[in-house]
Structure formats: structure tokens, C-alpha cells
Structure 1
Amino acid sequence: PPSAPSLPSRAPPRVPTSHAPPPPRRPAPPPRPSSPPQSPHARQPPAIPPRTGSPPSRPQSGSTHGRPPSIPPRHSAHPPAPPHRKPPGAPALPGRAPPPPPPRLTSSAPSVPPRAAPAPPARRPPVNGAAPSPPQPPPPPPVRVRAASETESSVPTPPAVPTGSPARRSLMPPPGPPTLRSRTSSASAAPPTLPPGRHAPTAPNGVSNAGIHRKIPSPPPNAGPHIFPTDCPPPRPFEQRTKQYGARALLSFHSPPSTKSSRMRFSSLLSPASALLLASYVLAEGPSDVIDLTPANFEDIVKPEPLILVEFFAPWCGHCKALAPHYEEAATALKEKNIKIAKVNCVDEANLCQDHGVQGYPTLKVFRNGEPTDYAGPRKADGIVSYMVKQSLPAVSEVTAANQDEFKTADKIVAVAYLSSSTQAPAAAFSDVANKHRDDYLFGLTTDEAAVAAAGVTPPAIVLYRAFDEPSTVYPYPVPSATLEDLEQWIQELSIPILDEVNAENYGTYAHSGKPLAYLFLDPSDTKKDDYLKVVSPIAASHKGHINFVWIDAIKFGDHAKALNLNEPKWPGFVIQDLAKQLKYPLDQDTAITTESVKDWVDSFVAGKLQPQLKSQPIPETQDEPVYTLVGKQFEEVVFDDSKDVFVEFYASWCGHCKRLKPIWDTLGERYADIKDRVVIAKMEATENDLPASVPFRVSGFPTIKFKPAGSRDFLDYDGDRSLESLVAFVEENAKNSLEPKNETVPPQNVDQQHHDEL
């Protein structure tokens, strides 16, 4: 119609020459405008006819349609204007977008296989009684269907590309005016209106942007379907499993195929502590190879066994818990060798543990036909097995003339019995001593006449060979009547040198002897060290059998010197320690070490003329705490007060058990703070204070708790648990004084009857 604006015409795109570069990809689809509202009297558009015909001809030179179309901008700086309406007589617009553009043909370039693009779907049925389109072959996958905007109304549908053409389909836009995608809108949707004097902006190609809804462009129609990755592992089939408990449930997990990384990841999850916990769970599920002993079965099981290892433990002991899995593993391994392993719970069987002298946990003892010896081996599974296997071997080795010389020097102390036969007395007693001290000494027995002749003795005889002092000593008493105790005492006396260096390895030998020990502290780098040893050696020989003499490295064991009350680092130093009573008798460090000074000091000690030197902290100036702080200097004054019940804790500052007991002990002191004149709750640091000689006990562990009732010199041991309730019950049971608090009488107050004026 005359009032309709004319649209610029466009020519089809040029066909590139043979040397032209390949065509560019089609740009993203332009924004789609909304379909304009249609008049109720407008004729409905007919169905889109099938695309037939030949490709469009090449445009003539000089045509104004030779340039490619311009793509409308995505954004506009002006508000959109309503699209132009067509008169009632205008032809209807097609309902589909134009087909893909025609192929680009080249004259000399080789043909490229076509890239298939989806063909349009089957035509819609006619509208308003229009004739249906002719039947079509089954279509390929459909493309998106959209409604055409009114700007496409005057654009004719270009013919379709001939079938079977080897040319590659183009992705360029079709010739003619640009096609704008539009969402389908209802007929009642009105276009946006502009105020008077405003017009909708137009794109460079003359197309109006009115009513366009911006949208993220869709992928091109020939992008193909999305392909999911095929290398994902298949889902694991469901497996119904029964419920499990304990370690099996912890360990029953579905693991991926064994790879190095998976093994490393799983191993990193198991720390040594968690692995030990899992092992204990596994061991707890099955039957244990460790025998549980009680007073009812102890004698019946232990006494008949030639070799059995028994552990005395407490369930709350951390060291016992750490030993438990190794002990179970060793029991299983030794079961095959017919060596039994047992245990005693000292919480449930306290009397049984006390009868066997158990003072700490865990305590391990090796029993041979009921006779115990201390276990001196490692506490790992393989070490326990190795130690017990060695213990099962014969304690007495066979000696012949061929190996006698080598056997006599195989250890520092070697005992050999020369007998006419293996059953001659004292073969049985000698074998018992060997079994008891197999870890300390080396024992041999011979009936070889050549060996007896080489030794120069007459059977029966027992000879002790030593690597120190006298090389050989013959048993001086009647051999046939020798008992286990006689042979044991004789060997122990000769096993201690007249003067030897003491260290951690041989200190136990001197401690078990029970004899006083005289120390000579020396600096090993001192050039006069040998001279000092020559001074003490004659005195040590004269007191052999009564006092043991040793020399010790004063630089390495300086702390031990301070414990023996040698406070100044001045060397040499000399001190005698009564191991039975834990009393110290140090020689004044300002006195020179000579034969005369040392001899006089030792003789005075033997005669009982010396007074022990007690180590003590200073006496506290005040006693403000509920627990009384006790020191060595006033021990007898406070503890031996017959008018008071005294409950004392002996502790060490480094002891963890003592630190945990401290708040409980303080609470106990607060409980009896009002009756201090009758009940004293005290504490003493045993490492800094010595007990006087009048005290009938010595502290050998921490904490040690003793109770002395009022009017008595006897001390009661406290062996109960360290809870406040148990401590209070022990005091109430053994206290001689009344534990009732003091009755404080409050004097009556005089009521003030004076009159006061009210304000």
C-alpha cells in the first residue's frame, strides 16, 4: 500500500572464486522480535509450500543487492517502536523461516563432501481450508520451528538446494532481508507504544528493532546431539550384606582394584596407634591363647609346667595395654612350641599378686616347676618368642676335653661341675642353680675323665672361673651335700669383684646383694685415677664379703652423686650407702682421699659410729595450705607425734601419677582442715628429702601413701584406688582420734533496744 514503508532490496551472496578462502561460519542467530498482532480480518497465512526449483541465478552486475546483509545490533539505545501494519489486502506471511542458503559452488576447486544439515520437518496442515502439500519422504531429525516476524512478509521463499548436490551447504544467512527470530506471541499481545514524537530505532539494514526480546543464542542446528563421556566406571551392583560388628565390620570395605595409589591412601589412614587398636580388636574376637590364672587354678597350672611365662597386670595400666597385643601374638607362636603363657589380673586377684611380690605393672615372671625368676627380655612379640625359646634350651652345657678351654673363657663368670656321672650329687642342685641364674652366669657339666684331669680336681668338684680377680676358685665346702641356696650364695659372692666400675648393666648385681655399697667418684680424664684406685683396693679386699666397693664416672653420673649428698662437683669423692635402709654416709669433700682417711671412715661405719647425713629441704616458714608440707628435718617431730593421726603421701615432682593425685589429695586436706590438731594430711617430696633411720620403711616407688595411727609407730600401707571416697573411707576406718568437727558455740547477741528515728 502507499503508506507502507519500502524495505531495501538485497541480492543473493556472491559465489566465491576457486582461490577464495573457505566460507566463514554462520554467526550467532540475531535476536528474535515478537510477532506483531494480527487484525481479526487478516487472512491466515497458508502453509509453506515444499522447496523446489533450481538454485538462484547469479545476480547481475550493478545490482544493489550484492553486499551481505548487516546483522542487527543486540542492544538499542532507544525504546522499541511498534512494527508497521499491513493493509487488509496484503498477502499473508509464511509461518516458517527461510531454508538454509544455497551452496557455494566453485569452478576449479575439488568438491568437498557435504556436511549434512537437518531438513525441515513435515509441513503443517493447511489453515482455513487450504489444500494440503504433496506427500514427502520421511524427514530427518526436525529443526526448531518458529513464527516469522512481519519484517519477513515481503521476502519470497528461496528455492531449495537440489538433492544430491556435492556442494557443501553454506552456513551463511539466506539472501534477502535478515531473518529475525521471534517468540510466538498471542494475538492479544499489543506492541509497546511510544510517546508522541518518538520513533523506534532501526538497525543499519533498515529493520526495526521494535518488539525484539533478547535471548542467549542457541547452538547451531547442525551441532549434533551431546555425547556423554564413555570412560566413566560402570555403577557397582548392589550387594546385600549382613550386619557385622567389631573389627570385621571395620575391615570389611569394598576397595577399588589394587593400585599403588589406593594402597598408599589406605596405608596413610592407619597410624601406628590405630593399627594397634585394630589388632587388639581382631585378637579380642577370637579365642585367646593366654591362660587366665586365679588363686583356684594357679598352683595346678603353673607348678607342673617346666617353663611358663606369667604376666601380672592391671586393666587400667597403659603399659599393660600396649603389651597386650604383643603378648597375645607371642602366646599363639609359642603354643606350637608347647610353651605356655598366662596372665593374672591384679585388680581382681590382688592377694595373689601381693603373694608374688608384685609392686608395679606389668610384672613378668618365668616359672619353672613353680619357681619364679624375673623376666629380663624384650616386650615385643618376636622378642618374647626368642627369649622364651632360649629359656627352653638346657641351662647346663656339656663340656668335654676338646672345648673346655674355650668354654671357661666364654663369659665373665663360668661354673663347671666335674662329676663321675650325670646323676651324681650334687647334679640336681647344680641344675637348679643353672636354671635360676641362666641369664646371669654360664654353667657347664662334664663327666669326661680327660677334662677332669686337665682341671686338676677330683670328682665331685665345682670350679668357678672368672675374668677378674682370681681366675679360678674351687668350692671349699663338702660338694655332695651342697644345696641350691649354698651354691647360689657362693657364686654370688664370687661374682662381685673386689673393686670394679659400676654402671647401669651391673648395678643390679650390687643392689640384689643387700650389702652396703662404697662409691669412689672419679673423673675418668684425671691422670691420678689409677693412683686413687690403688689407695682404695687394699681396703676393699680387707672388707670383702661385708662391703662392696666400686668406682663410678663422676662426670656421667653427677646426679647420682647429688642423690648421695655429694653436692659439690669436687672429685674424687667417697660415700657409703646402706642399701637396706637407704642411708648415706658421705665423706667430707674437703678431706683428701688417702689410705688413712678412707680406712678410718670405713672402720667407723662398720663399728656404727657414723651418723647418716639426711638430705632435707628447708623447713617452710608457714603452713597455709590444707596439706602439710613435710621435710626430712622435721619428719620425726611431726609424724611420730602420738596425739595425731598422720596420712602422708611421698611423691616425686616428675611423677605423672603424683600430678594426677594432687587435686584429690588437696581436697582430702580441705575435708579435715578443721581438725588439724587431730588428723594431719601431709606430703613429702621423697627425691629431695631423706627418711631418718628410725623409719622402718623406704620409699621405692611414687606415689607411696602411708598412714600412722595416733599412739603408734606402725605404718599402714594404702593400696586402694586413688579416689576421694576411698581415701576418706580409709581414714575413717583407721583413725584413732575423733573425726567430728569442732562445735563452735556462738555467743548470744544483745538485741539493741535503742530507738531510732525514721528518716
Structure 2
Amino acid sequence: MHFLQETEGGEDEGHELEHREGFGASAYPLLKVFRNGVDAGSYDGPRTTEGMVHYMKKRAGPDSVLLRTEEDLQAFVNNYDPSIVGFFPPDSAGLPEFLKAAALLREQFRFAHSVDPDLGRPYSLQQHGVLLFRPPRLSSRFEEDSVLFKDQVTVAALRRFIRDNLYGLCPHLTLENKDRLRVRDLLTVYYNLDYRLNPTGSKYWRNRVMKVVSRYSSRGLSFAVANKHDFLSELEEDFGLGMSESAELPLVTIQTRLGHKFTMREEFTRDGSSLERFLDDYFSGLLKRFIKSQSVPENNNSPVKVVVAESFEDVVNQPDKDVLVQFFSPRCPHCKKLSPVYTELAQQLYLDPNLIIAEMDATANDVPLGYDVQGFPTIYFAPAGKKDQPIRYEGTRELKDLVRFLKRESRRALVLNGVREEL
């Protein structure tokens, strides 16, 4: 298996076009994976050295490794990642379906199989079955090291089984798997976790966590542990936590699917009692959400009202006011270009008692739910009486188009330069 990297700058324009058409390149750099000289698709894994090596190792060799001996089995499951192993008689109807699943899912998971029934007997398998083996580094007395697949072997059923059981009670959150783990409400405990350089310390704190969270596993909250150095900027910028909090003790956060954030301010106790109190308060609704916010301005009388996360409810969500709010970044050149236009708009509408023109620095404040801000500037109109249905502005950044947008969306006539317009 090999990598091919295609970059811009061919010998001439025709040469570059030939490459684009041959590999379907629409952007650079393009990474392709080849298996035995055949294009196996574009590389879509992590762009770090360790991540790329890990990705390629998982894709080298067969879709499912044939295990012949107990030594083969132990060598395969003694891995940093989970392992899915099928045990089948040679003539089993389930084996072809298992191999089909391995071919389709090999980019995400590790598969192996055996046709020797004796290999499965230590795991209470008589004839056939599929087991998911969790990594030995995550072994804990609070959950089984392997999980038995009990349904009929089909690709869909195996995919569902792996999805539901892959991570277990308290997985290791990494930069590579964070998007998959964060699809649920997630409590994460961050500390100096490193299973390669500090396996003892890594297991110690995870066991302290699992002892507590095992009692809350049926409450709709997922759990994970993570290396806080990997997520340091996120802890500081999104949760107001950092290394200064404590160099040794874990830091704890909860982030929900709706974007609500909570932090444990009490020092993490080794007996887990502080974590237990934090969870009890969370499920009782007693925790105050953490909101990243600038200070509320003392004087806010300019035509463009400054909004921060802490004042968003009071300013933008006033039920009887229409509000046009711009989300910007101080470093964005497009925002700087829009600034005089937006200010002039606010000046012309300053005497309108029913309308507020506002702006918020989206890099220094949490953007409220319902506002999708992926780039800057992003402008929304929050109509009176319908604050839960903000309307995104998609027009040009010209004054006349902004005015036209407000006239169309507002249910009340605008007061423009002191004169009330007709509806």
C-alpha cells in the first residue's frame, strides 16, 4: 500500500489539468491511497505524522486477518485499538458476511477471523460467534474486556453492534475520535493521560473516574478521559480552564449536543466525591452553564450596540424589538470593510424605536444556539415575537441591500433618517 500526494504546479497548465481529471482533484494537497497498484480512494484520515502512520497500518494487509493459533489471537487483540474477531466453522454461512463487513468497515475498525472452534472456547463460544475485544490498556474491573455479538451476522447488524459497544463506559477521547464521541452529551475528564509514557498514572485516574461514573451510566450522559495537553487551547478558550488550575489533578467538563457547557470548579478529589457531587448537581439541574463572554459594556449608546454572550438575552432577545446582529472577528478583513457600511446603516435607523442594530465579536463570546456562524461576517435578523427563528442575511454587503432586507423582514415600517417608511 502506498501514498501518492498531488500538489499544484505541474510542468504546464495541460499537465496540471491531466492530473486533475485523472484523480478527480478539486483542491490541493490531494492524498491518494493505492493498494497493490490500484487506486483505493482518497486519504481522509488525520493530517499528523502519527495519525497518518496509524491510518496506513490499519489499511495494510487483508480486510480480516486469519488467526490460526492462540498466540495469533493474543497478538492481534493486544493492540492499542479495539479488535473485532469472528469465530466460524469453515463452512459457516456467517463467515462470508463477516468478511464482507470487514471489507466495508476496515478503514474504521480492525477485523480478524478464525475457523478453528477451539480458539473461541475460552470465551464461552461453542461453534461460532463474534467478539469485540477492548484494548488491554483500557481494561478495568468496572466492565468486561470483551463483548459478545448475539445477532445474526449481517453487515448492518455488525455495524450497529460495533457502534454501540466500541468505546465502552469511559473511552479515551483523542483528536482523531472526538467528533464521533461528541455526538452525545459528554462528560470528559482531562489529565496527564499518556498510555505509552505513563500507563500507571493513566490507568489510576481513569479507574477513579470509572468507579464514580459507573453508577450514572444509565442517565443519558456519556463519559471519556483525555490528555489535557491535546485539548489545552479548547479548555482555555471554550471552558475558561487551563494548566494554572492544577498541574496534576484532573479537570472536568460537560458539553451537551445543544452546545451547553459546564465545568467542575471544585478540586478533583482522589476518592471521587467531588466528581459525584458535580454529577448529582448536573442531573438535578443545579449547575450554572459556563458561557464564554466579554464584559458587558457600561456605556452602550452608540448606533451599533455591542452585544456579548452575557447580554445577548437582554439585547437581542427583547420580545418586542427587531434586532439585526452582526457576528464578526476583529481580524477579519471582510468585517473591517463592512464596518463603515454597518455603522451608516445603524446611524440611519438610530431613531427607530422598534429596531436595534447590534454586533458581537464571535471569537470572544459563545454564539447562542440557533445562530450558525461558520465564517465572518455573518448577519442575522431576530424578529420581534419570533426570537427562536432568526433569519440569516444572504445578500450583498451594500447599504441599500441591507435596508431592503430589513424592510422585507420587519413587520413594522422602518424609521429611516427620522422618517417613517411606508410598509
Using the alignment, how far apart are the partners of 2:228 and 2:46 within structure 1? Answer: 27
Q: Any idea what the Cα deviations from partners look like across 1:455-501, whole Å, max 9, x if unmatched?
A: 5413441101122226742325x3217662x5445434543365566
Using the alignment, how far apart are the partners of 2:391 and 2:139 within structure 1? Answer: 44
Match of 1:466 in 2: 134
Using the alignment, how far apart are the partners of 1:415 and 1:501 within structure 2? Answer: 18
Contact 2:87 2:114 survives alignment (8 Å): yes
Q: Which amino acid letter does the alignment assign opposite residue 222 of structure 2?
A: I
Q: Any idea what the Cα deviations from partners look like across 1:494-537, whole Å, max 9, x if unmatched?
A: 433655664434434432x4231232446999999987655433
Q: Which amino acid letter does the alignment assign opposite residue 223 of structure 2?
A: N
Match of 1:519 in 2: 189
1:399 equivalent to 2:67? Answer yes
Q: 1:552 to 1:454 in 2, by over 3 A?
A: closer
Using the alignment, how far apart are the partners of 1:441 and 1:458 within structure 2? Answer: 25
Match of 1:142 in 2: none
Match of 2:81 in 1: 412
1:441 equivalent to 2:116? Answer no
Using the alignment, how far apart are the partners of 2:167 and 2:371 within structure 1? Answer: 27
Q: 1:436 to 1:539 in 2, by over 3 A?
A: farther
Q: 1:463 to 1:590 in 2, by over 3 A?
A: closer
Using the alignment, how far apart are the partners of 2:104 and 2:231 within structure 1? Answer: 33
Using the alignment, how far apart are the partners of 2:415 and 2:390 within structure 1? Answer: 22
Equivalent pairs, count: 392
Q: Any idea what the Cα deviations from partners look like across 1:440-459, whole Å, max 9, x if unmatched?
A: 32012333445445654134
Matches within 5 A, 1:514-663: 514-521=184-191, 535-544=208-217, 546-553=221-228, 557=232, 560-566=235-241, 569-571=244-246, 572=249, 574-589=251-266, 594-623=271-300, 625-653=302-330, 658-663=332-337
How far off is 1:549 after superposition? 3.2
Q: Any idea what the Cα deviations from partners look like across 1:669-709, whole Å, max 9, x if unmatched?
A: 422432244443332223432356xx345656655543323
Give TM-score, length-normalised by structure 1: 0.43
1:738 equivalent to 2:413? Answer yes
Matched-pair identity in %:
18
Q: Which amino acid letter does the alignment assign opposite residue 566 of structure 1?
A: L
Contact 1:581 1:698 survives alignment (8 Å): no
How far off is 1:376 after superposition? 1.7
1:283 equivalent to 2:22? Answer no
In structure 1, runs of 5+ residues without a counterpart are 1-274, 292-309, 314-319, 342-365, 367-373, 746-759
Task: Indicate the SS of the match to 2:65.
Answer: strand
Q: Which amino acid letter does the alignment assign opposite residue 517 of structure 1?
A: L
Match of 2:152 in 1: 480
1:683 equivalent to 2:351? Answer no
Match of 2:4 in 1: none
Using the alignment, how far apart are the partners of 1:726 and 1:447 within structure 2? Answer: 70
Instruction: Work out which of the residue numbers 149, 166, 180 in structure 2 matches 1:495.
Output: 166
Q: Which amino acid letter does the alignment assign opposite residue 257 of structure 2?
A: A
Q: Any idea what the Cα deviations from partners look like across 1:706-729, whole Å, max 9, x if unmatched?
A: 332332133446484764376566
Using the alignment, how far apart are the partners of 2:95 and 2:375 within structure 1? Answer: 40
Task: Indicate the SS of the match to 1:443.
Answer: strand
Q: 1:503 to 1:631 in 2, by over 3 A?
A: same
Using the alignment, how far apart are the partners of 1:495 and 1:508 within structure 2? Answer: 15
Q: Which amino acid letter does the alignment assign opposite residue 386 of structure 2?
A: S
How far off is 1:412 after superposition? 2.0
Contact 1:651 1:702 survives alignment (8 Å): yes
Q: Any idea what the Cα deviations from partners look like across 1:63-91, whole Å, max 9, x if unmatched?
A: xxxxxxxxxxxxxxxxxxxxxxxxxxxxx
Give TM-score, length-normalised by structure 2: 0.72
Q: 1:498 to 1:702 in 2, by over 3 A?
A: farther
Matches within 5 A, 1:262-301: 276-277=8-9, 279=11, 281-283=13-15, 289=21
Contact 2:187 2:224 survives alignment (8 Å): yes
Using the alignment, how far apart are the partners of 1:466 and 1:642 within structure 2? Answer: 52
Q: Which amino acid letter does the alignment assign opposite residue 537 of structure 1?
A: M
Instruction: Work out which of the residue numbers 26, 29, 38 in structure 2 matches 1:337.
Output: 38
Q: Any idea what the Cα deviations from partners look like across 1:568-608, whole Å, max 9, x if unmatched?
A: 82323543322312222222346866532221211221233
Using the alignment, how far apart are the partners of 1:567 and 1:389 within structure 2? Answer: 34
Using the alignment, how far apart are the partners of 1:401 and 1:429 within structure 2? Answer: 20
Q: Which amino acid letter does the alignment assign opposite residue 540 of structure 1?
A: V
Contact 1:568 1:589 survives alignment (8 Å): no
Using the alignment, how far apart are the partners of 2:347 and 2:91 within structure 1? Answer: 71
Instruction: Work out which of the residue numbers 324, 328, 338 in structure 2 matches 1:664.
Output: 338
Match of 1:243 in 2: none
* Bigger relative CO (Cα 8 Å, ≥ 6 apart): 2
Q: Any idea what the Cα deviations from partners look like across 1:522-577, whole Å, max 9, x if unmatched?
A: 69999999876554331133334632132543698266245313378232354332
Matches within 5 A, 1:129-278: 276-277=8-9
Q: Any idea what the Cα deviations from partners look like across 1:150-185, whole Å, max 9, x if unmatched?
A: xxxxxxxxxxxxxxxxxxxxxxxxxxxxxxxxxxxx
Using the alignment, how far apart are the partners of 2:130 and 2:306 within structure 1? Answer: 57
Q: 1:480 to 1:567 in 2, by over 3 A?
A: closer
Q: Which amino acid letter does the alignment assign opposite residue 515 of structure 1?
A: D
Query: Of Structure 1 and Structure 2, which has the larger fraction of its residues in strand?
Result: 2
How far off is 1:279 after superposition? 4.2
Contact 2:382 2:391 survives alignment (8 Å): no
How far off is 1:419 after superposition? 3.0
Contact 1:416 1:445 survives alignment (8 Å): yes
Using the alignment, how far apart are the partners of 2:75 and 2:204 within structure 1? Answer: 34
Match of 2:175 in 1: 504
Q: Which amino acid letter does the alignment assign opposite residue 550 of structure 1?
A: V
Instruction: Give the root-mean-square deviation of aligned CA atoms.
Output: 4.6
Q: Any idea what the Cα deviations from partners look like across 1:227-258, whole Å, max 9, x if unmatched?
A: xxxxxxxxxxxxxxxxxxxxxxxxxxxxxxxx
Using the alignment, how far apart are the partners of 2:201 and 2:19 within structure 1? Answer: 65
Task: Indicate the SS of the match to 1:475.
Answer: strand
Query: Of Structure 1 and Structure 2, which has the larger fraction of its residues in helix?
Result: 2
Q: 1:481 to 1:713 in 2, by over 3 A?
A: farther
Task: Indicate the SS of the match to 2:292.
Answer: coil
Q: Which amino acid letter does the alignment assign opposite residue 14 of structure 2?
A: V
Q: Which amino acid letter does the alignment assign opposite residue 661 of structure 1?
A: C
Task: Indicate the SS of the match to 1:707.
Answer: strand
How far off is 1:665 after superposition? 4.6
Using the alignment, how far apart are the partners of 2:69 and 2:204 within structure 1? Answer: 42
Q: 1:416 to 1:549 in 2, by over 3 A?
A: same
How far off is 1:417 after superposition? 1.9
Using the alignment, how far apart are the partners of 2:275 and 2:396 within structure 1? Answer: 47
Using the alignment, how far apart are the partners of 1:621 and 1:447 within structure 2? Answer: 74
Using the alignment, how far apart are the partners of 1:499 and 1:287 within structure 2? Answer: 45
Q: 1:604 to 1:659 in 2, by over 3 A?
A: same
Q: Which amino acid letter does the alignment assign opposite residue 341 of structure 2?
A: T
Q: 1:604 to 1:634 in 2, by over 3 A?
A: same
Task: Indicate the SS of the match to 1:570.
Answer: coil
Q: Which amino acid letter does the alignment assign opposite residue 281 of structure 1?
A: E
Using the alignment, how far apart are the partners of 1:701 and 1:487 within structure 2? Answer: 39
Task: Indicate the SS of the match to 2:279.
Answer: helix
Using the alignment, how far apart are the partners of 1:719 and 1:623 within structure 2? Answer: 24
Matches within 5 A, 1:41-80: none
Q: 1:736 to 1:663 in 2, by over 3 A?
A: farther
Q: Which structure would you say has the larger Rg?
A: 1
Contact 2:292 2:364 survives alignment (8 Å): yes
Task: Indicate the SS of the match to 1:623.
Answer: coil
Task: Indicate the SS of the match to 1:282.
Answer: helix
Using the alignment, how far apart are the partners of 2:12 and 2:325 within structure 1? Answer: 39
Contact 2:132 2:166 survives alignment (8 Å): no
Q: 1:650 to 1:454 in 2, by over 3 A?
A: same
Q: Which amino acid letter does the alignment assign opposite residue 376 of structure 1?
A: G
